[in-house]
Every structure is written in C-alpha cells, then in structure tokens.
Structure 1
Amino acid sequence: MSVINQASLSAIRYLLTDVDDTLTTDGQLLPETLTAIYHLHEAGVQVIPVTGACAGWCDHMVRAWPVSAVIGESGAFYKIYRSEKRLMHIGWYDDAELRRRQAEVIDVIKRELMPHYQDLRFAQDQVYRVADVALDIGQDREPLPQQQIRELLRLLTQCGVQARASSIHINAWRGDFGKFPMALRLLRNEFNLDDEQILNQVAFIGDSANDESMFAGLKYTFGVANIAQWLTDMRHHPAVLLEQPRGLGFVELADRLLEAR
C-alpha cells in the first residue's frame, strides 16, 4: 500500500464514503464518527456517502447528517439539496424504469436462487428500496459463509444481474449504474468538477468488495482495517490501508485530513 503525502491530503475537498462498516460500527454510528463528519464539514471538506443503503435510509442521511449529498442503492440515485428547502432525488433512470428493472431482479431471485437456497431471504429494508434488491448475508442473521456468497454472486451474474457483496448485503440490479459512474455524474453535474479536479480533490474510504469500482476509479482511496477479509476477492485495492476498523477507521482518516489542512 502506498502513502499519500500531506500536500495531497491538504488538497482533498470531497470525501466520498461507504456507510455500513465504514461509518458504522456493529450497525451503530459512534459519537466520535459523527463528530468527525461534523469537523470535516466545518473545515470545508464535503462528505458524501456512497452506499448500497436503501432510499429510505438515504433520505434520512441527507436530511439529518452534515453531508453534501448521498448516493444510494449502489448508484441507482443520488439525493442533494439544491437550496435550503429543495431536496432533489436524481435517478440513473426514471422511477418507472428503476421499478421495472427491480421487479425483474426479484423474479430472478425467487425463481432461480431461492428454490436452491432455502435460508436465503431479502433484507428487511427491501420495502424501502426503489431500484436494487438486497439479500441479507449478515445484517439480521448469522453471516453466510464466504463460499456461499461467492456462489450467489456467480449465479446472479449468470442470470444477467449485476451483483456486489457488502459486509451485510448482496446488492443486485439490472442496469449500467454503479457507485463510481454515479459518483462521477454527481461530481460533474452538481459540483462542476472537471476530470483533473476529481483526480486531485476527491478521496474515497470503504470497507468491502462492493467498493472496488471506487478504488479503481479514484486516485486517493482508503480502506478501513476490516477490509482485509475481502482483499483476496478484489482486483483493485485501496491505495492506503488504515490501522483502525469501521467507524474508528473513518475517524483516523478524518484526523489526517484535518491535520493536513
């Protein structure tokens, strides 16, 4: 893993971050992690969650947390305030098309996977999703074995479904959206960044294989310590591996960014 120098850290103006097991610790947002987000916001670093989390949770995040925008459901949409009272929900496709594709994926899972995996179930937050489909692999159940997760990902891919595993869900969808493509769209359309600014002013922090497109696409990338279990399944790794896990790893990076400023 490389080292990112202080001059590079001081130029970072946008910190994109995964949520589950990157911001959260055992499903909770620690007070020191939330404080770190506030400190970054106050210092002029715009924090933007990029998550597989459902639209319902993303709506809460953009309203209640000191963040500049939220990308949700693995890149299906973003939410942003364009004025104090004008919250916008911008989808990769229009709402009807997202719902149509979501229904197709649900049908595939029920027809091709569930008859063969009797303990497979949708995440409890599926009802609050507008685009993707989430399978619970460790959120409200004992974690599935890594080999079974790999097999489910393979089967979904064979069925023409995009699928990525986070620490708690398999997120599945049909379409050409993803975390990194939507991040580029957001940064260009809402913050007016060009390619050079994206390269030099944007960083990302994540924890699992479903963050791989972000690690591949951006220059300044960080992995919290708990990403170690996923590295063998990934072609593209974070540039820097932090010492602390989960929400404390986010605090570790926040401290480095604030010190550099």
Structure 2
Amino acid sequence: MSMRALADWPPEERRLVKGVLTDIDDTFTTHGRLTIAALDAVERLRAAGLKVIAVTGRPTYWTLPLLRLCSFDAVIAENGASAFWLDAQGRLQSMFYADAETRRQHRHRLEEFALKMQRHFPAIHIAEDAAQRVGDLAFDIGENIAPIPLSQLEAVAALIRAEGLYATTSSIHAHASVVPFSKQSMSQRVLQQVFGIGDDAACRQYVFVGDSANDASMFAHYPLTVGVANVRKFLDRFDAHPAYVTQQEYGAGFVELANSILNEK
C-alpha cells in the first residue's frame, strides 16, 4: 500500500475530523520523552472541540497518569486490555478485557511462559514495566537493548504463538497474551460505550496516528490513518500501512498532524 504525504490529505476531509486516536511511544513521545510541543498540540486540539484518545501498548498502571497530566479524553492501555476515562464529575472510570480473577489466572500462565522465553532467548528479558500490566506480558526488544533484527523478532513471536498465546509487537516490545485483544477493538468499544460514537461515524470523523506493528489493527480498520515518519522503519513488519505519512518523526510528527487538522478548523 502506498502512503501519501500528509500534505496531500484533502482539506475537506480534515475539516470533518472530530477526534484523534494516538499511539504513545515514538508517535506522541520523542525517544521516550514528552515534549512541550506535543502536549501543547493536545491542548490546542481539545480547545478546538476535538477529542484526543491515547491508544498504547504501555501498561495499565504506567498510563494512568497520562489521563490527567496530558489531558487526554481517555487512555487505552496494553493494546486494548484496559481503558480509563473521567466521568462528568471528574471521577476515574475503567473497563477491562476480563474480570480480576480471570486476569490473575492469565497472569500466572504468562509468568510460566516467561521462563520458557528466557531459556530460548537468554538476551530477551521481561520489560521493566511488567509489574504494571494487567492483561499481557511484554518482552524488551528495543527499549533498553539494541533493537533485535527482524529474523529474531519473528522467532520470538513464533515461540509465543507455539505456546497457544497471542503475539503482537511494537517498536520496543513483543507482547504475549492469553486471549486476543487489540487497539482497534477497545477503541471501538470506548468510542461507542463511553462517548456514544458509533463505528460508522468514527470511521468518517476520527483519525489514528501511529508508528509500528501493534498499530496494524488501527491502520486496517480506520480509513483516516497517519504514520509519523519513523513508521517507515517498520513497514516490513505488518501489511496494513497508514494512508498518510508525516514529514517529521516521533512527537514532531504528531504536532504536524495536529497542525494540519487545526489549520482547517
């Protein structure tokens, strides 16, 4: 699929946008850091009446502060395992892929699998944020180590699947889960159940921006999709590519997208 430059996105489509769904790592952040420009872009989008929802592979309890500190309307974590938002009274609300007891059982199975991963791939360790997760287990493939080659990543994912588990990858983590969930399925659920936005309307009025393989479900489902420029590094890892691509990488690409929308408002 050929990606077009963001500048080619028709102005009449940009004027219809009512919300932005955004990945966090290497899309909203820049080398692991939040920039003033990216935070300001969220504020400007929301001031213009748009909703901004974070959709990330990061763990549940790592992402909770983002809800308030970054002024997101909602945060979806662990590639769709959990979601959080504030109600009209400012009280925290949540939804999960399964009840607490089921999640506990799944966690035990994943921790047993982690021992097998260590035996097969001694250099691949559980991600440092593992204790903050409720639905999956992440392995470090590029956060605190040099990014592993594609051939090794494919072997890691194959091992996960061979155990009857589900695998997905981002630019920094390989994720294993007992049941399938995705950024897209939880995004659809949150938009419908929390904000009253049906999927047909979301496909016309919401744009998703991301950068890596765990964003593929979003790129495949939503017609309005954008990759920040660094997405080009990972296009060989998934088939559903974004429709448009920014000139800038990382958080600067997110700001570029925000400006392209706001310039038409």
Bin for the TM-score computed over the shorter chain: over 0.9
| Equivalent in 65, 68, 86 of residue 81 of structure 1 | 86
Does the 8 Å contact 1:22/1:250 carry over to 2? yes
Q: Secondary structure at the match of 2:207?
A: strand
Number of equivalences: 260
- Could you state the TM-score of these two structures normalised by the residue count of structure 1? 0.96
- CA displacement 1:116-173 (0-9 Å, x = unmatched): 2111211111111111101111112222222211110121112211111111111211
Cα distance in 2, alignment partners of residues 62 and 204 from structure 1: 18
What is aligned with 1:158? Answer: 162
- TM-aligned CA deviation for residue 191 of structure 1: 1.0
**Segments of 4+ moved more than 6 angstroms:** none
Does the 8 Å contact 1:58/1:79 carry over to 2? no
Q: Secondary structure at the match of 1:124?
A: coil
| Equivalent in 167, 176, 191 of residue 195 of structure 2 | 191
Q: Secondary structure at the match of 2:102?
A: helix
- In the alignment, structure 2 segments of 5+ residues that lack a partner are none
Please give the residue correspondences for 1:1-261 in structure 2 after superposition, counting only pairs within 5 Å: 1-2=3-4, 3-111=8-116, 113-261=117-265
Does the 8 Å contact 2:188/2:199 carry over to 1? no
How well do the aligned residues superpose, as a CA RMSD in angstroms? Answer: 1.2
Structure 1 letter corresponding to 2:221: G
- CA displacement 1:54-100 (0-9 Å, x = unmatched): 11221111121111000001100100111333101210111221222
- Could you state the TM-score of these two structures normalised by the residue count of structure 2? 0.95
Cα distance in 1, alignment partners of residues 160 and 154 from structure 2: 10
- In the alignment, structure 1 segments of 5+ residues that lack a partner are none
Sequence identity (%): 35
Does the 8 Å contact 2:24/2:55 carry over to 1? yes
Structure 1 letter corresponding to 2:50: V
